[in-house]
Amino acid sequence: MNPVLQRRLLALAALPVALLIGWQVAHESLLLPLLLAAGAAAFVAVRFTHVALDVAVLGLLLFGYVVGNRGFAQQMPFAGLPLFPAEFGLALGGGWLLVKSAWHKELPWRGDLLNWTLLLWIAAGTARLAFDVRREGFMAVRDYAMVYYAGFFFVAQQQAADARARRFLRGCLLWGVAVLLPVYPLFKAFPEFFVGTLTVRGVPLIFYKNDLVQTFLAAGSVVLFQAAMGQRWALAGKLGAILLGGAVLVENSRAALVGLAAAAGWLALTRKPAYLKSLALAGALALVGLLFATWVGRGEWRQSSLVVMYERVASMFDVQGTRTYASEELGDKPNNNRFRLVWWRSVIGETWENAPAFGLGFGHDLAERFLRVYEFDLGEDFNVRSPHSFPVTVFGRMGAVGALLLLALIVALTRITWRRLREADETAEPQSGLWCACWVILVSACFGVVLEGPMGAVVFWTLLGLANGTPATEPADDAMTPADTPASDSAAPPLPKAPAAVSVDRAS
């Protein structure tokens, strides 16, 4: 067809659509305009990134939850439609995974221990939900999210079969952490701008949960360092990893420190000392910085940054919260220890007394007994539903069955991490970083609200799927930039291309 005639026909067809959209916008009916805008944005994203639509959406979720955190989690792509980013992304990615699996007549999961354990975990949670939803309604579905977010594992695992998708998703995480590092201090310095000005339909686009920020920085540090091994940007990557690790060391989250220590422990056990040396350097630089700040400040030694850092570490072992601290800047961390301990005992005791096998169920208020026995006033607006420990939450919701399945999942994760890290060499360092990042987030989740909401859960399950789906003999590649051509995996059959447009996700 003549190109000029083709353009004229397209313009003629687009004219009534444009008039319809303009009329609907004028009458504040935004569903169709937003759908078309989302379709156009999806088309542009696919053309720009050179990856399938489902991969581009998952990469957007990774970047969004790292940079936007709680603010991004509360966004609704379509006004009036109660879909949040995580739910939309899971519906799109999961639906397309089922389509491709049916197309190739293969199962959407693998036959290893980690996959089967996760399938049992989801099946047990779904069976528990069937009894709870009739009694608790939407609250049961909301609590059940900690189970269905595991679906991102299977989506990312399948996408990781393609080298281009692997590189893109890893790059989205690293760029997200790179943006997070300067934006977080700006958020603390100018909260009014982020909460009152940088909003979408009245909801802040960026709103941070401190412990998650530190967890992401710790995970990004180890991923960046391992991905930089053998690359032309190795020096810059390692310096960036040291900066991220140093930020975690001097900040306020003890859970992230424990998670980072777990990742360092894995690298030490598997004889990969390079990151440990860099972490020691980061610690030394942080110590020098604290000493310099103390000297410049010339204030009281007991209130100095160095003493605050020391007492922050010491408070990790003050389980009962009875130690006396000199620093006024330590805040309520000693009380936080007792806060968690009392809540954990309350949930475990209530579950053991009333429903030890199958738990108290989704939708049950795990804070009710705790609020009756905790001696400190938490204020009238206290509405937290999780006891700040993922294993305790699982036992409270799903009982011994859920706890045993979680233990089996940890055993399977331990087994495969040990094997993959032992087998990995300098040609597979990016994969080593992914496994360590999973442990950073999982260990942090034992001491905070991480995997119960989408901010931490989507990132964790995606990284776990990406790590498990990456071939053990993956060649080293540039993790910060997309590949020019996709690598062919002999084990993966050719897949149909993703549709050019679909749209649409949730927050805790």
pLDDT at 157 over 70: yes
pLDDT higher at 312 or 75: 75
Q: How far apart are CA 30 and CA 131, in angstroms?
A: 37
Q: Which of 46, 52, 89 is nearest to 498 (CA)?
A: 52
User: In the block, which residue shows the tokens 């935004």?
Assistant: 30
> Distance from first CA to last CA of the chain, Å, rounded?
52
CA 334 to chain CA centroid, nearest Å: 27
Which range (76-80, 155-159, 273-277, 452-456) has the least confidence? 76-80
What lies within 8 Å, CB to CB, of 326 at 6+ separation is 302, 303, 307, 311
Reported as a pLDDT band with limits 50, 70 and 90, residue 10 is confident
DSSP three-state, residue 150: coil
Q: For residue 199, what are the β-bridge partners?
A: 204
pLDDT digits (tens, 9 = 90+) for 398-451: 999 999 999 999 999 999 999 988 887 655 567 888 999 999 999 999 988 899
Tens of pLDDT, residue by residue over 294-307, are 676 655 555 556 66
474: number of Cβ within 10 Å: 18
What is the average per-residue pLDDT within 221-242? 83
The DSSP call for residue 197 is I
Q: H/E element holding 494? A: none
Please give the pLDDT value at position 494.
44
Give per-residue pLDDT as tens, 128-141: 999 999 888 889 99
Q: pLDDT value at position 431?
A: 81
Is the pLDDT at 177 greater than 70? The verdict is yes
pLDDT of residue 312: 66
